[in-house]
Amino acid sequence: MRHLGLTLTALALAAVTLTGCNKSASPPPAADQSASTAAPTAMSDADKAKALAALPAPYNTADLSNGESKFALCSTCHSLPAGAPNMTGPNLHGIFGRKAATAPNFAYSDVLKASGWTWDAARIDTWITDPKVALPGTKMTFAGLKDPKDRTDVIAYLMVMTGFKP
């Protein structure tokens, strides 16, 4: 009995040692893989859902797919990924907390340059309601999003896609 007990203990120890070995041997390749799949421009739906949930209210409960489809109204003029080119409008990466009219190499209107604004959610909400009312003389020729829910959804989408830090 005692001999059997010792043998079992030895086997258990061997198993623990082997598991330990496997564990310490496997992480580097796994870590390499996750690093290479986490491309900054391609967010998975799970990443987007996680980023959405981390936003301040009311954006954390916004409808991201409606935001994405409404952003189609903006995407004719604006790119979102870091380093993407300016179009008719400036690239919007990092827009939250950014001073107005400071994207590199974009010819802004004098009125936007003189606004002294820093973009936050409330400022963007007013802006996209009707830019020419928010800032007469702006170069952004966009009729405006009149539905408050559409604006909340598109702002949440912008937060998720432009690297907003809560």
Footprint of ligand HEC on this chain (CB under 6 A)?
73-74, 76-78, 88-90, 92, 95, 100-101, 103, 108-109, 112, 119, 124, 127-128, 138-142, 145, 154
**What is the rounded CA–CA span in Å between residue 19 and residue 7?**
18
Taking the complex as a whole, the smallest distance from the CB of residue 79 to ligand HEC amounts, in Å, to: 11
Taking the complex as a whole, the smallest distance from the CB of residue 111 to ligand HEC amounts, in Å, to: 6
**What is the rounded CA–CA span in Å between residue 52 and residue 55?**
5
Taking the complex as a whole, the smallest distance from the CB of residue 39 to ligand HEC amounts, in Å, to: 24
- Whether omega before 58 lies within 30 degrees of 0, making that bond cis, reads yes
**What is the rounded CA–CA span in Å between residue 75 and residue 61?**
23
In this complex, which beta carbon is closest to ligand HEC, that of residue 59 or of residue 127? 127
Residue 104 makes CB contacts below 8 A (sequence gap 6+) with none
In this complex, which beta carbon is closest to ligand HEC, that of residue 139 or of residue 149? 139
In this complex, which beta carbon is closest to ligand HEC, that of residue 4 or of residue 143? 143
**What is the rounded CA–CA span in Å between residue 89 and residue 85?**
10
In this complex, which beta carbon is closest to ligand HEC, that of residue 89 or of residue 159? 89
Taking the complex as a whole, the smallest distance from the CB of residue 99 to ligand HEC amounts, in Å, to: 8
Report residue 115 as tokens. Answer: 């606004």
Taking the complex as a whole, the smallest distance from the CB of residue 132 to ligand HEC amounts, in Å, to: 10
Number of CB atoms found within 10 A of residue 109's CB: 14
In this complex, which beta carbon is closest to ligand HEC, that of residue 112 or of residue 160? 112
Nearest to 73 by CA among 134, 158, 139: 158
